[in-house]
Amino acid sequence: MSLVNMKEMLEHARKGRYAVGHFNVFNIEMLRGAVMAGEKQDSPIILAFAEVFEKLVKIEEFAPAMIAAAKVAHVPVAVHLDHSKSFDYIKRAVNAGFTSVMIDASDQAFGENVRRTKEVVGLCAPKNVTVESELGHVAGLEGYENGYAESADEYTDVREAVEFIRETGADALAVAIGTVHGVYRKEPRLNIERLEELRREVPVPLVMHGGSGLSDKDFRDAVQNGITKTNIFTDLNIAAKKCLRENCMEEEGQYLGYLDLCAKVAEAVCAEAEKKIILFGSAGKR
The catalytic site residues sit at 82
Question: In whole angstroms, what is the distance from residue 228 CA to residue 235 CA?
Answer: 19
Task: Check: CB of residue 139 under 8 Å from CB of residue 150.
Answer: yes
Task: Tally helices (H) and strands (E) across the chain.
Answer: 10, 8
Q: Answer yes or no: are the C-beta atoms of 51 and 86 closer than 8 Å.
A: yes
| CB-based burial label for 133 (10 Å; 0-12, 13-18, 19+) | buried
Q: Is 202 helix (H, G, I), strand (E, B) or coil?
A: coil
89 in Cβ contact with 104 (< 8 Å): no
Distance CA 73, CA 56 (A): 25
Q: How far apart are CA 157 and CA 170, in angstroms?
A: 16
Rounded Cα distance, 45 and 52, in Å? 21
Give 58's contacts (C-beta < 8 A, 6+ positions apart).
none
A 10 A CB-CB count for 87 gives 12
* Coil/strand/helix, residue 21: strand
How far apart (Å, rounded) are the C-alpha atoms in residues 121 and 25? 25
Q: Measured in Å, how far apart are the chain's first and last C-alpha atoms?
A: 8
